[in-house]
Amino acid sequence: LLTYVFALFFNLIRICRKYDVDIIHAHHAIPTGTFSVIVSKILGKPSFITTHGMDITTHGIAEGPLKNVSNFEDHFIFKHLLSYSLRNCDRVLPVSNDLKKRIMALGVKEDKITILRNAVDINRFTPERKNEIRQNYNIDEEDIVILFVGHLEVFKGLFELIYAFNNVKKENKKVKLILIGDGSQKIRSKQEIEKLGLEESVFYAGKIPPSDIHEYYQNSDIFVLPSQTDAGGPPVVFIEAMACGLPIIGTNVGGIPEGIENGVNGFIVPTKNENELTKKLKLLVNDKDCRVNFGRKSIEKIQNEFNIDKKINRLLEIYKQYLSLNK
């Protein structure tokens, strides 16, 4: 660990001097943000930090030294590291309003915070429909595919989704569920699926390379991620699904509601609520027009708010504005 720390620190100084950088921009408040702030002070360069959420909360860490730490901002040591990084950098760029509030709670002034949302490449994540994935799983073209992308963990709402899917399946035999990801609950979830007799309707895709993930969205009809907690969001998987024209179902935690307009491009349901999740799934499964309309609204929202080209231009504006004001 110490070797990594020293290597990161001295390499950062070397690279900044070699290229005579104008701004040091780190992703994640700790540990990279901490180093960027220290190096910026040494070199007299401004430092920016983009916070993605997992640098604030540790939800999702199932093992290792941080598994018993629920939130960095509640941990004595990490809270002070976070506070130092965020208060001493020159600009903080959280990906959501939810993260902005949490950053301000750490003592960061609002006037140094600029929200810069996650974005997606709309040239790759498109609503173009392909059949290869369905053919691989022997899924018929007329089947309705529900897609989950995330850690196979309790906190991701995995079991609420399985039970809700079972409820929907009782009324509609043409519905299928694809689970993308891995996690500690994979074996247990398979056992539940076997008990419910869903082996022929639920497919485990495992971890899918980022270069291929868009094909799964394009072969699905509904995207669902009923997380019990969120690092700051809206998660990238939501905006990827939206870009591919899918109606989405998420929960009312963290930054997730910032990606969903309830009743417009998807539904927001309470956490740990199998009944509400079942109701919304049934509505989308049984109403093709609703799925199509929600999908169109998802695409519009991506083009207006989560477009990667717009994000790049906005970031360049932020850089130029800061440099012009601090010559």
| Calpha distance 185→164 (Å, rounded) | 17
Identity of the residue numbered 281: L
**168 in Cβ contact with 285 (< 8 Å):** yes
H or E element: which one contains 101?
A: helix 97-104
Token digits for 256? 């997730």
| Calpha distance 291→313 (Å, rounded) | 32
Preceding omega of 257 cis (within 30 degrees of 0): no
DSSP per-residue letters across 275-295: HHHHHHHHHHHH-HHHHHHHH
Q: Does the global pTM surpass 0.75?
A: yes
pLDDT in tens, 207-217: 999 999 999 99
H or E element: which one contains 176?
A: strand 175-180
The residue behind tokens 């989308």 is 284
Token digits for 69? 């730490």
H or E element: which one contains 93?
A: strand 91-94
Closest C-alpha to 256, from 229, 280, 286:
229
CATH numbers and ranges of domains, the chain: 2-119+308-325 (3.40.50.2000), 132-305 (3.40.50.2000)
**250 in Cβ contact with 297 (< 8 Å):** no
**193 in Cβ contact with 162 (< 8 Å):** yes
pLDDT in tens, the chain (327 residues): 678 878 888 999 999 999 999 999 999 998 889 999 999 999 999 999 999 887 776 544 444 444 544 555 555 577 788 889 999 999 999 999 988 988 898 889 999 999 999 999 999 999 988 778 999 999 999 999 999 999 999 999 999 999 999 999 999 999 999 999 999 999 999 999 999 999 999 999 999 999 999 999 999 999 999 999 876 767 899 999 999 999 999 999 888 999 999 999 999 999 999 999 999 999 999 999 999 999 999 999 999 999 999 999 999 999 999 998 877
pLDDT in tens, 274-322: 999 999 999 999 999 999 999 999 999 999 999 999 999 999 999 999 9
Closest C-alpha to 224, from 174, 158, 128, 273:
158
